[in-house]
Structures are given as C-alpha cells and as structure tokens.
Amino acid sequence: MATLKGDNGMDAALQSSTEQQQASQYARSLIEASLDPLVTISPEGKITDVNEATIKVTGMPRAQLIGTDFSNYFTEPDKAREGYRQVFEKGFVTDYPLTIRHCDGKLVDVLYNASVYRDVNGNALGVFAAARDVTESRRIMREFADTKNFLDNILQSSTKYSIIGKDLNHNVLSWNKGARLNYGYEEEEIAGKDSSILHTPEDVLSGAVDKMLSTAYEKGLAEGEFERVRKDGSRFMANVVVTRRNDSSGRAIGYLLMSTDITEKKQAEEKLRYASQYARSLIDASLDSLVTISPEGKITDVNEATGKMTGMPREQLIGTDFSEYFTEPENARKGYEQVFSKGFVTDYPLTIRQRDGRLTHVVYNASVYRDEKGNVLGVFAAAPDVTAQKEAEIADQRARDQQRARELDRLAELERFQKLTVGRELKMIALKKEIEELKREVEHPRPVRSAEEASV
C-alpha cells in the first residue's frame, strides 16, 4: 500500500537510511573493537558469526569457522557442547569454564558468559557467547556492510528514474527511457493512456493516488512510496515524486511524475534493520557491562547489564560522566584516558557504586572504536562482574592470614618450651655432676693432714 510524505520526504528517507547505516556500522565496530572472543551459535551447535578476537584465539579465518561445530575448538568438546545446550535450556550460562585450542596447539583458558538472542518478534535465533580470557585478557565489535554507495548509485543513475508527464486528467503525455526500463512500456504504447494503470488497484480504490495528486496540486509537490505495476503485471516498490506543472501564467496544466525502483533499496533497508537489531540484540544479551564513552568522558551508550550494575536507567546514564559511578572517580578517569592514549587497557580494576550503596567489583577491558574512515569516535569498555571472585580472594587471604597467625603463635609457644626445656636440662646436668662429685668424696675421702703438715 502507499505512504505519503511531505515536501522533504525524500530527504527524510535518505536521512533515515543513513542513520540506520551509521547505527549498523557503529554496532559492528563495537563488536570488532571487543578484546574478548564473541561468537553466535545456531540451535544445531554451528557457528554463525565470530569477531576478530575469536579468529585470533583460534588461529582460524572467519570463513572456515562459520558453519563448523562450535565444540571443535576446545580441549573438551563434550563439555563445550553441553555448555551451549544449557543456554538453550536455561536461557543463559555464566562463567562456564572451557579451554580453547589454537591451531598451533596453544591453549587459552576462558570463562564463557552466554545467553540466547532473539529477533524483533522475540523468537530465539541462537546463542550469543562471550569468552573472557582468564589467562591473559578480554572483549567486543565491527562494521556491517555499507549500502550508502549502492543507494547513491541508484539515485544518480538517470536510467533508473522514470520521468512521466501527465495532464490534469492523469493521461500520459511524455515517457522517458527510465520509464520504459522500469515499466516495460514503449512510449507509443502508453502515451494518452490513464496513468492509473501504473498503480495497483488497491492504491487507486483506497484513494491514496488521488490524495497524492491533490497534495501536489495544492502544495506544488508530493512524495510517497507506492507499489507499482509493470506491463507484464509484475510489481515493484517505487519512490514517487509528483510536482505540479504550470504554464507561463502560473496556471496548473498537469503533473510531472518522477519515480525510481526502490525494491533493492527496501530489501537493503530491511537487511540493515535486521543487522542493526541483530547487533543490538548481541549487545543487550551480554551479561557483562558494556559502555561507550566519548573523548570528553561522557557515557554515550550502555547495555542492560550496565543499568543493573549501576541501578540507573539507560536514559539517565547517557550523557553523564563515566567516572561518577565508581568509588574512585579519578582512577576511573585515568582508565579511559589511558585507552585514548594507548588504544586499549586490559584487566583495569574498578568498583561500581550502585544507587543503593552496594558495591560491584569489575575488571575493565577497553579499546577505542572508529568510524569508517578510521577516526576515533570514543572508547568501548566491557566490564565483567568479578565481585564473587574478589570476595573469594579476600576470604582466601583472610584464611591464609589466620593460618599464618596460628603458625606464628605455635612457633612462639615451641620456642618458649624449648627455652624452658633447655634450662631444665642444663640444671639437671649440673646437679648430676655435683652428685657424682659427692659420691666420689664419700667413696674415696681425702686423708686429713695435721696442723704441722698443713703449715709446712
């Protein structure tokens, strides 16, 4: 059916298409900017998409990874297979341990966080899995295909435009080459006929065609997207612009209709819309906090996990200072400044303070993301929640400290006992020596000398 647009409708459509294309590029660039391996898996366990980090960690090109069994790249294939089955059954898995085997034999220990991702209707399409490298570093995104040049070529190609002159009764007066190519009629076949044969009966009966022509008559121009009918009865979508033709005195004498086949454009837009939805679904499916930061340190986008960690809705987070959500704002600020200066940071520890005062320990991996020309747009940062790990480390350290204190107390007690024992042994030796000397004197008394002998 038809949709009418105002005088600037074509510009608005082009702007909308450009914004969708930029959103797709933006989302894919985030995926490829990730330092963590990201992968999507079909319900049959086949890899459907990967990012550059996955290629690096497996040593396999993307073309060889896609379509293969996800479990093939791990030291324990059955465990990997069980992992993605759990995601389909439960909806997600967190910190699922696996070991990736690189094609050169190198092993990388990872923890997978995964959840199902869905289409616009909520149907599960597969599993999105992010692997955090627990031996080295982590995560996220890349650009989708650019369709702008293709759409521009359509608009700039004169043979793609149908230019048709009509009188006020809608009879065809002129017919260009583009019209012949689009509709299949030769000029002599169509001249003088009612142009309504180029519209679908549904649009004619609904009044959409008359409404567009009335708008063009009153305002001078009208635009809409219509399903058009060729000579052979086949249909195609077209962008139609109608302008009122005036004579030299300014009196309306007819219409000039310019249209172009936008079937491929509509298909491209649908693919782009799906790609944008797909990328956004992957971002929001992540169980780790994902955030983009401008060069000024302002939050430009977040996912659902970030909202949960901070206790703040997405619309309140966007535009605020990234550093204000941490217990050490200066440390947070230094972190993203390092990313802009070095290009990335890995395993950067911070603590998020939620609105209710609760603390969440995270480790940030971040890198810059760029536009299609390579210009830096901002920082993309991924922060898995390591609170449980941190608390376990603290508890373990506390236990070690307590054990050490007990050992030191025991050592001190042994030293005191040793000193006491050694002192007693020395006294026993002296006493024994004294007893022996007394015995010898009793058994062998020395002769008593007279006073005169003693004096001599």
Q: Which residue has the higher pLDDT, 407 or 327?
A: 327
What is the rounded (10 degree) CA torsion for 117, 121, 12, 379?
Answer: -20
Position 259 scores a pLDDT of: 86
294 in the same domain as 273: no
Residue 245, domain member (yes or no): yes
Position 152 scores a pLDDT of: 38
164 in the same domain as 270: yes
Structure confidence by residue, pLDDT tens digits, 56-101: 989 999 899 999 998 898 999 999 889 888 888 888 888 899 998 9
**CB within 8 A of 322, min separation 6: which ones?**
291, 293, 297, 298, 299, 332, 333, 336
119 in the same domain as 56: yes
131 in the same domain as 64: yes
358 in the same domain as 305: yes
In this prediction, residue 273 has a pLDDT band, given cuts at 50, 70 and 90, of confident
Mean pLDDT of the chain: 80
Residue 421, domain member (yes or no): no
Residue 247, domain member (yes or no): yes
Residue 392, domain member (yes or no): no
CB 111 within 8 A of CB 97: yes
Domain boundary among 362, 385, 408: 385
275 in the same domain as 161: yes
85 in the same domain as 221: no
pTM for this entry: 0.36
Position 12 scores a pLDDT of: 59
Residue 436, domain member (yes or no): no
Return the minimum-mean-pLDDT range out of 4-13, 201-210, 276-285, 326-335.
4-13
CA 137 from chain centre, in angstroms, equals 16
Position 1 scores a pLDDT of: 44
Residue 417, domain member (yes or no): no
- Helices 148-156 and 263-285 pack at an angle, to 10 degrees, of 160
Structure confidence by residue, pLDDT tens digits, 409-447: 777 776 777 677 766 777 777 777 777 777 777 776 666
In this prediction, residue 171 has a pLDDT band, given cuts at 50, 70 and 90, of very high
Cα distance between residue 202 and residue 183, in whole Å: 18
342 in the same domain as 216: no
Return the minimum-mean-pLDDT range out of 12-26, 82-96, 148-162, 352-366.
148-162
Pick the closest to residue 385 from 136, 111, 108, 99 (CA basis): 111
**CATH code: domain of residue 59:** 3.30.450.20
371 in the same domain as 325: yes
Other C-beta atoms closer than 10 Å to the C-beta of 331 total: 14
278 in the same domain as 189: yes
83 in the same domain as 55: yes
In this prediction, residue 448 has a pLDDT band, given cuts at 50, 70 and 90, of low
User: Does the pLDDT value for residue 34 go beyond 80?
Assistant: no
In this prediction, residue 140 has a pLDDT band, given cuts at 50, 70 and 90, of very low
Report the largest interatomic distance among the alpha carbons of the chain, rounded to a whole angstrom: 175
User: Does the pLDDT value for residue 24 go beyond 50?
Assistant: yes
Residue 291, domain member (yes or no): yes
Domain boundary among 358, 385, 412: 385
Residue 424, domain member (yes or no): no
Cα distance between residue 93 and residue 95, in whole Å: 7
Task: Summarize the confidence of residues 348-371 as an average pLDDT.
Answer: 88
Structure confidence by residue, pLDDT tens digits, 92-139: 888 899 998 999 999 888 888 888 887 778 787 888 888 887 765 433
> How many structural domains are present in the chain?
3
In this prediction, residue 15 has a pLDDT band, given cuts at 50, 70 and 90, of low
| DSSP symbols for 367-411 | EEEE-TT--EEEEEEEE-B-HHHHHHHHHHHHHHHHHHHHHHHHH
The share of the chain scoring above pLDDT 90, in percent, equals 18
User: Does the pLDDT value for residue 143 go beyond 50?
Assistant: no
Domain interval for residue 61: 37-136
Domain boundary among 270, 285, 300: 285
151 in the same domain as 25: yes
In this prediction, residue 13 has a pLDDT band, given cuts at 50, 70 and 90, of low
